[in-house]
Amino acid sequence: MTTLVNINTKSQLAKLIATENLTIQHNKVKTASFDTLNRILTLPIFKVQSGDVYDMLIAHECSHALYTPVDGWKKIQDDDELRAYVNVLEDTRIDKLIQKKYPGVVRNYLNGFDIMEKQNFFGISGKNINTGLMLIDKINLRSKSMNRLPFKFSEIENDWIKKVDDIKTFNQVVKLAKEMLDWQKKQVEQMKKLPNFDNLELVENYNLDEDLDSENNVNTKNKEDSDNDTNDDQWSSSSKDTNDNDEESKDENDDKNKAANVVNPDGAGGEQGGVDPKKLIVITDNSYEKNKQSLFDETISYTYVNLPEPNLNKIMITSKDWIKRWKEISMKKEEYTNFNLSKRLDYINWLKNDFKKFKNDNKKTVMYLVKEFEMKKSASSYRRATQNKTGVIDTLKLKDYKFSEDIFKKLTVLPDAKNHGMIMLLDWSGSMSDIIKQTVDQLMNLVWFCQKINIPFEVYLFTSEAYETARSRYDENGERIITEESWNYKHGDGQFGEFNLINVASHKMKKIDLDESLMYLHHMGHYYNTRYTRSYWDADKGFEGDRFDIPKEYYLGTTPLNESLVVMNKLVPIFKKKYNIEKMTFITLTDGGSDNNWGLRTIKNTDDGLKLNLGKESSTPIITIGKKQYKNTSKSYWSGGTVTNLLLKVLQDQHNINTIGFYVIKRLNRFHTLDRYIGNYKDYSDKEVKIEKMKKQFSKDKVAIGYQEGYNKYFILNGKDMDVQNTDLSAVSEGMKTGKIKQLFSKSMRGRIVSRTLLNKFIEEVA
């Protein structure tokens, strides 16, 4: 925010004032509104420095929303004069109601008026409040100032004030406004008969030298400018009988008048048009409403969305269906392939052996993860250990009984170990094409780690290409079709795309099925790793037989990461409850960018069914969960403000989980990596320091810890070399010189230490 005012705090104030747990929404509107059906109170975004002014405005707008009937304003919408009078009297009525109900806001009204009056919000600077203002303006200032201005009311004015104070309902407001307006017009007509009429202050302040009874939209001064020889009476009579040219001239002058006198008051009655100078105006109300425009923050607009209910039957593809599809594709002829079953079996055998070798090679990695996990978990338990007296005397301390009361045996109590659980999301989008193999390799190490320590885990691959939803999503006019395949939409939900989650690994799977599933992931890693290289086509491919392709529904596509996170909001609590998970770790293996990541559009319920609300997609999204609202607060362009970060915050807060991001890259690119993930910085110099620090960390440890809002830790991995290395002295031979042996030993130990840096940091987060 560009203010000193905390909007979240003011939302709580609005809820208290509204006397019920409403949903409060601040947005780019010019007046308060209340959705009685959904119990949503929408308030303007004010950019004021004073808490008193903000509280006064909040109380005033809440009171309008609660006590001013919208239908009542529609009846007087086209009458500028009457609407201004009604607005003043209605403000007087509803302000008294809210002040009586909440005496605490009286102080805000007092201080708020003083601040605004000093800034001439009411347009009375240089005017005599007793002789230069009409009764309606005096009433307005009397109410706004809480009766603190030195007004001198006449006997007849006091009678009107008594009537104002007796108002109870909106209908009474309208009735009294009509009576007062008629009375004031008669007073003006009487004033025009005075010999010193032209010299009265009221004449200048209210433009009373204009013809109040004229039905035309041309004032006398403009007419005199165009024709100095025409007097007022002649103009008045001729204006009723004009030809087409006169009408054009009249319209032109009308436009000039409106341009010169436009104000845009937006009180309870909404936006007003231009003020006709011949009609009675309310100086203080017009000035206040016009100046109030400067209080609105025009730079911010919000889109409030609910998370839709996912249709899990359409979204989820089970591990059984995943494996079944691979078995079909691996054993049949594919396009552009000279199918030979024998050669196909040769490749399958090669794939099985290559996967087995990969798994064996990573056993040391997994065991290292397990060892570090158990050690850090035990260390954490001891840090939280407590000592209690047993009540049994320690005979070794009995000799100290004369000068110490601590002679009892003690028992060290270790807290019970927490049940761990893990859910992993694998990005299957086109932007991952050059790091698929490295990312899959990391994923499989995590799966075997979970399997080894026997904790519940689930792995989902998210894709836009699966056959369940890979179909036309636009109508014949190119308009987006709102379907209910992936989502059960309702009014106010955010719109998300069609996609699928594929369960590629789970603790519930049999060991043989899990290995087969991971083998197919291993195959896809190889496939995309050589997809655009010579090894894919040359005879020396690195594999045996004829390699089968990837099913089209498993091709790399777009990035429905946000959609996946919405579904996780449904799956995570189910997973935690089912397996009694106390410490939940949620991991994404992605390059961080999701489809439609900078804004959300809402679904609107219309007479023609659910429609997409074509609001500004770039407006700041606020996600509503029940009565709680989530908004990005980071000032960093790359690290904050995206829908992904917001959805991760929701997961963290709603389900108390630890979020970890893995981003495998082949090179440390300045623009796409460093600038995005260094987090907030003070100035350019501070930015350069943080970039250099990340570069050094990446070079030394093969991993850098980046900042990404929504994640507890965000690991940027070196995709070229992320294998865990162990001490390897196999190259040492008999007769080798001491210096050479020392060199091999140092190199092996250095690789061993560096390769374990990521694992140590990861286990610290998990354990």
pLDDT digits (tens, 9 = 90+) for 565-588: 999 999 999 999 999 998 899 999
Residue 602's pLDDT is what?
84
Tell me the pLDDT band of 634, cut-offs 50, 70 and 90. low
Tell me the pLDDT band of 225, cut-offs 50, 70 and 90. very low
Residue 329's pLDDT is what?
84
Residue 350's pLDDT is what?
93
Question: Is residue 716 predicted with pLDDT exceeding 80?
Answer: yes
* Burial of 178: CB neighbours in 10 Å, binned 0-12, 13-18, 19+: middle
Residue that wins the pLDDT comparison between 244 and 132? 132
80's tokens: 């500028």
Q: Kindly list the distances between the CA atom of residue 566 and the CA atoms of 120, 563, 623, in Å, as whole numbers in the listed order.
A: 49, 5, 11
Give the residue from 621, 661, 658, 624 showing the smallest Cα distance to 641: 621
Residue 399's pLDDT is what?
65
Question: Is residue 78 predicted with pLDDT exceeding 60?
Answer: yes
Average pLDDT over residues 425-453: 88
Q: Kindly list the distances between the CA atom of residue 448 and the CA atoms of 42, 131, 324, 419, 452, in Å, as whole numbers in the listed order.
A: 51, 88, 22, 18, 6
Tell me the pLDDT band of 272, cut-offs 50, 70 and 90. very low
Residue 38's pLDDT is what?
63
Q: How far apart are CA 63 and CA 107, in angstroms?
A: 16
Residue that wins the pLDDT comparison between 268 and 102? 102
Residue that wins the pLDDT comparison between 415 and 148? 148
Tell me the pLDDT band of 511, cut-offs 50, 70 and 90. very high
Average pLDDT over residues 675-697: 81
- Of 117-121, 157-161, 554-558, 675-679, which range is least confident? 675-679
Residue 394's pLDDT is what?
63
Please name the CATH architecture into which domain 317-369+417-487+498-601+635-724 falls: 3-Layer(aba) Sandwich (3.40)
Residue 410's pLDDT is what?
58
Residue 551's pLDDT is what?
85
Average pLDDT over residues 458-469: 81
- Angle, nearest 10°, between helix axes 80-101 and 106-118? 140
Give the residue from 707, 613, 550, 1 showing the smallest Cα distance to 303: 613
Tell me the pLDDT band of 40, cut-offs 50, 70 and 90. confident
Average pLDDT over residues 194-222: 66
Alpha helices in 153-211 (DSSP H): 155-165, 170-191, 201-206
Tell me the pLDDT band of 337, cut-offs 50, 70 and 90. low
Identify which of 146-150, 256-260, 708-712 has the greatest average pLDDT.
146-150
Tell me the pLDDT band of 177, cut-offs 50, 70 and 90. very high
Question: Is residue 675 predicted with pLDDT exceeding 60?
Answer: yes
Question: Is residue 15 predicted with pLDDT exceeding 80?
Answer: no
161's tokens: 């004030």
Give the residue from 486, 494, 446 showing the smallest Cα distance to 462: 486
Tell me the pLDDT band of 538, cut-offs 50, 70 and 90. very low
* Burial of 1: CB neighbours in 10 Å, binned 0-12, 13-18, 19+: middle
Query: Mean pLDDT over all residues of the chain?
Result: 76
Residue 39's pLDDT is what?
65
Tell me the pLDDT band of 753, cut-offs 50, 70 and 90. very low
Q: Give the angle subtended at the CA of 690 by the CAs of 675 and 708, to the nearest 5°.
A: 55
Express as a percent the part of the chain with pLDDT over 70: 68
Question: Is residue 497 predicted with pLDDT exceeding 50?
Answer: yes
Residue 156's pLDDT is what?
94
556's tokens: 């790399």
- Of 38-47, 240-249, 308-317, 698-707, which range is least confident? 240-249
Residues 453-468 as b/e (b if ≥16 CB within 10 A, e otherwise) read bebbbbbbbbbbbbeb
- Of 190-204, 243-257, 400-414, which range is least confident? 243-257
Could you state, in order of their start, the residue ranges of all structural domains in the chain? 7-300, 317-369+417-487+498-601+635-724, 727-767
Residue 638's pLDDT is what?
55
Q: Where are the beta strands (DSSP E) in 380-443?
A: 386-393, 408-413, 420-427
Give the residue from 482, 641, 456, 651 showing the smallest Cα distance to 567: 651
Question: Is residue 182 predicted with pLDDT exceeding 90?
Answer: yes
Q: What is the DSSP string of 28-47?
A: S-SS-EEETTTTEEEEE-B-
Identify which of 18-32, 60-74, 148-162 has the greatest average pLDDT.
148-162
The answer to whether 433 touches 472, Cβ cutoff 8 Å, is no
pLDDT 10s digits, 229-240:
433 332 233 333
Express as a percent the part of the chain with pLDDT over 90: 26
Q: How far apart are CA 228 and CA 722, in angstroms?
A: 91
Amino acid in position 319: S
Residue 166's pLDDT is what?
95
Instruction: State the DSSP H helix or E strand holding residue 65, giving kind and residue range, or none if neither.
Output: helix 51-67
Residue 659's pLDDT is what?
94
Residue that wins the pLDDT comparison between 182 and 222? 182
pTM for this model (two decimals): 0.69
Residue that wins the pLDDT comparison between 445 and 747? 445
Residue 746's pLDDT is what?
57
Q: How far apart are CA 41 and CA 32, in angstroms?
A: 7
Size of the chain in residues: 767
Residue 744 CB neighbour total at 10 angstroms: 16
Q: How far apart are CA 136 and CA 281, in angstroms?
A: 9
- Of 130-139, 320-329, 744-753, which range is least confident? 744-753
Tell me the pLDDT band of 172, cut-offs 50, 70 and 90. very high
